[in-house]
Amino acid sequence: MNTTKNSKIHPLAGKKMMGADMIVQVLADENVDTIFGYSGGAILPTYDAVFRFNDAHKKVDGTQPMPLIVPANEQGAGFMASGYARASGDVGVVMVTSGPGATNTVTPIRDCMADSVPIVVICGQVPTTAIGTDAFQEAPVSAIMGAVSKHIFLVTDATLLESTIRSAFELARTGRPGPVVIDVPKDIQNWEGLFKGSGTLPLTGYRNRLNAVMNNNLEEKTCEKFFALLKDSKRPLIYAGGGVINANASDEMKAFASAYGIPIVTTLMALGASDTTKPLSLHMLGMHGTASANYAVDDCDFLINIGARFDDRVAGDPKGFAPNAKKIAHFDVDISEIGKVKQVDWHHVGQLKNDLVNLLAYGKKISHRKSLDQWHTHIAELKEVYKLNYDRKSNLIQPYAVIEEINSLTGGNAIISTGVGQHQMWAAQYFDYKEPRLWLTSGSMGTMGFGLPAAIGAQFAQPNRMVIDIDGDSSIRMNIGELETATTYKLPVKILVLNNFGDGMVRQWQKLYYKGRMSASDKSLHRKDFTKTAEADGFEFSKKLDKKTNLKKIIKEFIDFKGPAFLEVIIDPDAGVYPMVGPGQTYDKMITGQWIANRHDIEDKEVDKSGMF
């Protein structure tokens, strides 16, 4: 067991405690200020310990230091913790019972793993003597979670409980962040022993690999090779991924880009890493990226990948991605991403924040200067000619207009959470994001039902920020029980449902690839009255917007309302997400619809019908 060097002795070291109290004390030591979870028999000792801790440490104003937020469902708790982590950069915490309580968190755990989000999930488990007997509410958590998490611990030695909890936080937040699960049998929670106040598990192999990456600083020769590539380039372009935000390296990336005038495109997960209102920011690239961003990728001669992974929604056809890039560079924290999809000419695996600082320092040392005026002019033309657009004269409410209006009121400073579908892409495209951690979405997993609970978690993490959930009528149904959670805790979260009476993105694909056969995607016969549902769950502001003439007035009321607010907007059911690059296609096959210019004159009917979801 490792002990923390040069640390003060914990004031509670040597005190006799129950295992449950040790869990809670370590959470306090890790500065956890919010727990999301649902109770049950196997986790009751720890829930009681949370109650007693909060009662003993009440603040002067009567508030609890570690409130336990109860959702409608454990999946909601997982997504709340994810929203908390994404909005704050801290580790989100989930605490659930055994069996179904644990298995209900599988989807958010996998979602966090796919998007590299740090959460710690503490699951109650049946007593150690009952494990493997099919006891009441028993589930093989280790077997299930091991496949979807960064790491899983089953605590069978009570003396290792305290160090296991600390190690879980270390694993969750370091390297490539991710979800860590701790399965704690009830008898371990009820065990009594001496609290050590320090110490972690050995984790020798992990720490050795981590230290090798964290200490792998850019050497002068490596910097020299990079700047040789940059010197030979006339059209360099930064392709930034979610790793930039995870590493808290947005400022360093922007400083590097600004120093040498390099334009930036971002993935879906990196929105906000570059201020989307700036001239050299081209917003999002990929399947539903802006046309200007995608064309810039086609036109660049040196692509600089920073914290991205060439995933299939960006590089649908890896061989045809960035076809004019003579050279490609790749920065990452995970060696497995180098060359996994796209071969590169230069790479470095290390601590992104430090690497960018060192790279910029080397550039200053050699006084690197090069005019990119022609490239900047080209970028400005791309942004003007191929800008986002839609039918602004339509009598029906266009979803793009709704988002543009909200954006005009929030100015790129609101936290935006989304479900998954068309509304997700519209929110990605038409909102501005001036800084990191304002954009919360399920990227790699594409989990419907993410938006509402994630917004709730974000509001706990950032109580003074405006948090808006942009959702769809199908996506919000998945976790609609969390409406009550928002009002129960008096959270001023804004929830907007863009209702097109169906699975809009699925229908768009069915029109393109399945000859318009709307198999199970039409929800027009469903009877859900969303505004009444919100009213029943305690929303004092719950309105429906179905007339274009009322758009500006009602949206302003919605944004200005001081408490939880719910707004359903009946939108054009045929509104599509454009641009769109078909699966497995290159950007020169991008379709842009009727209202966005296309330099290749590609129409919907020309889309390759062999594509799959």
Q: How confident is the model at residue 7 (pLDDT cuts 50, 70, 90)?
A: low
Looking at residue 45, its pLDDT comes to 98
Residue 109: CB atoms within 10 Å: 29
Looking at residue 311, its pLDDT comes to 95
Looking at residue 28, its pLDDT comes to 98
Mean pLDDT of 299-306: 98
- CB under 8 Å to 473, separation ≥6 — which residues? 497, 498, 499, 500, 501, 502, 523, 528, 530
Q: How confident is the model at residue 122 (pLDDT cuts 50, 70, 90)?
A: very high
- pLDDT tens per residue across span 557-581: 999 999 999 999 999 999 999 999 9
Looking at residue 507, its pLDDT comes to 92
- pLDDT tens per residue across span 359-410: 999 999 999 999 999 999 999 999 999 999 999 999 999 999 999 999 999 9
Please give the C-alpha separations between residue 227 and each of 148, 235, 361, 416, 578, in angstroms, as whole numbers: 39, 14, 12, 37, 36
- CB under 8 Å to 430, separation ≥6 — which residues? 388, 400, 403, 404, 407
Looking at residue 268, its pLDDT comes to 97
The reply to whether 398 belongs to the active site is no
- CB under 8 Å to 397, separation ≥6 — which residues? 545, 546, 547, 548, 551, 569, 570, 571, 572
Looking at residue 519, its pLDDT comes to 92
Annotate 361-376 with DSSP letters as a single string. HHHHHTT-----HHHH
Mean pLDDT of 477-489: 98
The reply to whether 136 belongs to the active site is yes
Q: How confident is the model at residue 601 (pLDDT cuts 50, 70, 90)?
A: confident
Mean pLDDT of 89-116: 98
- pLDDT tens per residue across span 207-232: 999 999 999 999 999 999 999 999 99
Catalytic residue among 74, 162, 170, 405: 74
Instruction: Tell me how long the chain is.
Output: 613
Annotate 297-318 with DSSP letters as a single string. HHH-SEEEEES----TTT-SSG
Would the pLDDT of 3 be above 80?
Answer: no
Provide the β-strand partners of residue 417.
440, 469
The reply to whether 445 belongs to the active site is no
Mean pLDDT of 289-298: 98
Q: Name the amino acid, one letter, at 602.
A: I
Please give the C-alpha separations between residue 118 and each of 81, 85, 121, 261, 479, in angstroms, as whole numbers: 9, 6, 10, 33, 22
Would the pLDDT of 13 be above 80?
Answer: yes
Mean pLDDT of 499-519: 92
The reply to whether 269 belongs to the active site is no
- pLDDT tens per residue across span 125-140: 999 999 999 999 999 9
> Who has greater pLDDT, 610 or 497?
497
Q: How far apart (Å, rounded) are the C-alpha atoms in residues 172 and 151?
A: 8
Catalytic residue among 1, 58, 136, 594: 136
* Whole-number average pLDDT of the chain: 95
Helix (H, G, I), strand (E, B) or coil at 81: helix
Q: Could you give the dihedral angle defined by the CA atoms of residues 297, 272, 455 and 406, in that order, rounded to the nearest 10 degrees? A: -90
Span of 80-94, 313-327, 589-603 with lowest mean pLDDT: 589-603
Would the pLDDT of 337 be above 80?
Answer: yes
* 579 upstream amide cis, omega within 30 of 0: yes
**Cα angle at 188 between 182 and 191, to 5 degrees?**
145
Would the pLDDT of 610 be above 80?
Answer: no
Looking at residue 603, its pLDDT comes to 63
Catalytic residue among 15, 137, 214, 434: 137
Mean pLDDT of 262-288: 97
Domains of the chain: 16-213 (3.40.50.970), 216-385 (3.40.50.1220), 399-570 (3.40.50.970)
Helix (H, G, I), strand (E, B) or coil at 486: helix
Mean pLDDT of 518-536: 91
Mean pLDDT of 70-78: 98
Q: How far apart (Å, rounded) are the C-alpha atoms in residues 338 and 310?
A: 10
Looking at residue 604, its pLDDT comes to 58
Catalytic residue among 269, 284, 505, 590: 505
Would the pLDDT of 446 be above 70?
Answer: yes
- For strands 119-125 and 68-69, give the pairing: unpaired
Provide the β-strand partners of residue 347.
330
Looking at residue 512, its pLDDT comes to 86
Catalytic residue among 138, 162, 186, 321: 186
The reply to whether 74 belongs to the active site is yes
Phi, psi (rounded to 5 degrees) for 77 = -60, -40
pTM (two decimals): 0.95
Determine contact, residues 438/266, Cβ cutoff 8 Å: no
- CB under 8 Å to 391, separation ≥6 — which residues? 398, 594, 595
Would the pLDDT of 608 be above 60?
Answer: no
Looking at residue 8, its pLDDT comes to 87
